[in-house]
Structure 1
């Protein structure tokens, strides 16, 4: 029997596709975990009586630790083995999820969320980098990345659905216990289906570099969250200074190291840089879109969480289908047109929100489908470009950079688009006279606060307050949509220029 020609990549079989299903489980879980907690906070507040600061840290501890450790964990996976790191992370994530579900105090829950960020950072770089080792055929690899990438979008939309369904029937800890049945199949099947991979010549463990990138990312994400929640402040400025200083020191250390944790020369490659920029902006705008559409459906249209989550499902379906179909397009269309076109399609979805009538929520649901159409295509090809531009032994580090772009984009989505909504709301809302000072302050900060205050007022005061708050919120949504459309259109131009010389991707 003749062996295949050396330049013909081996095509994946049933075992590799089964391994992909296993690797999607942690991606889907972490994406759901980013949004599901918000639905449990009211019950957590009643049961554990946390302080306001503890409540904020319950939400923030997870993404802060996750973002800070992605790059170091990607480098660690290159050294100790990506499958091994995936199994350690999965075991820890499942165990700590059970601890979080039965946390007796607010302090324990905050600590558990931080540990979830630690183990979550082991999962994400490993899953994407292992795909490269499983799928060598370009067309099959792009299809696998399409499924992997849409796990994020699907998870973000499924979070409200899963959260609403669980909290409708069980206690708040059920949203954490979800991790256990999801990760058990991974722990059982990954050693059988997923081959180990690592860098055959890893560099030394670089603890100072890990500390610097951790400091830079945590300070940056913290500053973005504070900016989005409270506006400019000395704390935001201090976080920015710390992030920039740590980032500069990290870059200098990498440039001087003979075996750097992160090879910054990768950014000289236009496809790698263009793919990262695409993922950053897609994540920013997609999360920013979900920020205001979920509030509109629940607070303006009056949908319960489960119904609102189901209304977002068509957008998730379109995202998945788009990512799968684009695999068959890139053999005929250059990446510059695919990514640039995907970003422009997303921009058109934001324009629908900017120019449309938001009452009833139909425009928002349709716009999310349009946004999903563009994001599914753009993310799939961007992920493929990022992976193919690096040597196999650097796959873990490259995957970690890609995941950092996603997490940073999530923070930017709330800080940029979310701030546009909340700042416009606070400036435009009119609070009727006669309210208690605390009621007036609550109603003037957020739409949710205004709805809660209106619920205890008489009809003469509640009606004008609700009308003013909804009008102010929708004005903020229109502004946010305009910013998102402009950001996407501008990025489409930049990405198109970066990728203008990249030929059509090889199909076989």
Structure 2
């Protein structure tokens, strides 16, 4: 009876943990629709617009490993509530920001708070669900909450902006944070690691000096193209990461336990997280432009077109543990990579005038693959370490997800752009949107230019889809042959 009560409390606690996960994911995408209104109200410069959008994810990506380890040390529930408090307070500040600079600072604080929430929630699951089967189901639900938040962010933003002012997209975080503060002390356990070794401050410094410049350089290349400062910053970040890894080999209490990578299963899962998010993030960016600029859907309609992907991803996440029990983790991950590859490669069939149902079917298929792989990756990574180190391990996996997204935007976005200009043969003086504006000014004589620009963009999207699909296919073969051991 006692274990049944504990089990019931754990599942209620999981429901509470999905609240901050949903919020963090939603705030990645909720600004997509709000940016035109914010730009009209605060008059940010083009660079400030980029920072408003990017500083949140930028700081989350750079701080995940540090915050995961810090939660292990000072208490996972404590850092969860502290991060949630910062996230809520920063959300209020963002809602009433009087200037673009103030909004950027508030979004940065939201990113710092968000970086504590993801590893804290995932590592608490390891404490609350010691049984492997229960933990796998719980992580599937956690993954579904994250996917759902990212998908419905633009839709919620569109509905709210239709009735209220732009600040409300931040204020919706406040009641959710308040509910977390009320419920967490009753249903979430506290857990911390008792360590005689001092916290690895040098490792923290080296990880930040490596990850933050590297992520910034990747985002800058994705937004503005290759430049000398971006390359220099990226190289500096890479050198700092090498020094970080060398330091981790000698540190008595390292932030990253490099011995974990001796496991083919663990290493394969980190690779799947990075490559999977690289393919999914890059294609989400390009297909969003395709739907709006090539096919003419408005932003809200394009966001709604993303719901089949979100629904299949969330459903597959919840069912991933059952699939793994049926066919084994290795076969399930191989199948998931193949399904994601089919969805990516299927985009080669899209053209300028293709019906929307083709896109919906292809992304739904890809969603099944991504849902299985993301849930199983998180489960394997958290389950591969003792519970006292699950915060650090989840920080590693979440960082690989974030870096994969950033690399997808930079690499596949750059590839698509290169193909676009190559197909233009000098006819395009700017981006697809700028070229279409130029064609509109020419009147009827600009129709050929507009069609050529749309066809060139589709060709670039095809090249990126082919590259992403091939990466997924190659990784599926590697996983099938290499991933033999068990954590």
8 Å CA contact 2:219–2:406 kept in 1: the answer is: yes
Can you list the C-alpha shifts for 1:189-229, whole angstroms capped at 9, x where unaligned? 11111111111326312222111101111111111112222
Q: State how far apart, in whole Å, the 2-side matches of 1:451 and 1:89 are.
A: 44
Q: State how far apart, in whole Å, the 1-side matches of 2:6 and 2:472 are.
A: 35
CA RMSD for the aligned pairs? 2.1
Can you list the C-alpha shifts for 1:466-493, whole angstroms capped at 9, x where unaligned? 2122111111111111011001011112
Residue 334 (structure 1) aligns with: 328
Alignment of structure 1 residues 133-282 onto 2, 5 Å: 133-201=127-195, 203-282=197-276
C-alpha change, 1:287 and 1:94, in structure 2 (3 Å) is same
Residue 110 (structure 2) aligns with: 116
Alignment of structure 1 residues 358-437 onto 2, 5 Å: 359-429=354-424
C-alpha change, 1:345 and 1:207, in structure 2 (3 Å) is same
Instruction: Verify: 1:449 aligned to 2:449, yes or no.
Output: no
- Work out which of the residue numbers 35, 49, 54 in structure 2 matches 1:60: 54
Q: State how far apart, in whole Å, the 1-side matches of 2:196 and 2:466 are.
A: 46
Q: State how far apart, in whole Å, the 1-side matches of 2:163 and 2:456 are.
A: 34
Instruction: Verify: 1:475 aligned to 2:475, yes or no.
Output: no
8 Å CA contact 1:334–1:502 kept in 2: the answer is: no
Q: Give 1:71 shift.
A: 0.8
Residue 500 (structure 1) aligns with: 484
Q: Give 1:356 shift.
A: 4.2
SS of residue matched to 2:324: coil
8 Å CA contact 1:269–1:389 kept in 2: the answer is: no
Q: TM-score, normalised by structure 2?
A: 0.95
8 Å CA contact 1:12–1:137 kept in 2: the answer is: no
SS of residue matched to 1:104: coil
8 Å CA contact 1:37–1:163 kept in 2: the answer is: yes
- Structure 1, unmatched stretches of 5+, are 5-9, 433-439, 504-508
Residue 506 (structure 1) aligns with: none
Select between 207-216 and 292-301 the one with higher mean Cα deviation.
292-301
8 Å CA contact 1:23–1:127 kept in 2: the answer is: yes
Select between 297-306 and 347-356 the one with higher mean Cα deviation.
297-306
Q: State how far apart, in whole Å, the 1-side matches of 2:15 and 2:363 are.
A: 26
SS of residue matched to 1:261: coil
C-alpha change, 1:427 and 1:181, in structure 2 (3 Å) is farther
- Structure 2, unmatched stretches of 5+, are none
8 Å CA contact 1:229–1:419 kept in 2: the answer is: no
8 Å CA contact 2:137–2:321 kept in 1: the answer is: yes
Bigger helix share: 2
Q: Runs of 4 or more off by more than 6 Å in structure 1?
A: none
Q: Give 1:353 shift.
A: 0.7
8 Å CA contact 2:264–2:484 kept in 1: the answer is: no
Q: What number of residue pairs does the alignment pair up?
A: 486
Q: TM-score, normalised by structure 1?
A: 0.91
Q: State how far apart, in whole Å, the 2-side matches of 1:223 and 1:356 are.
A: 31
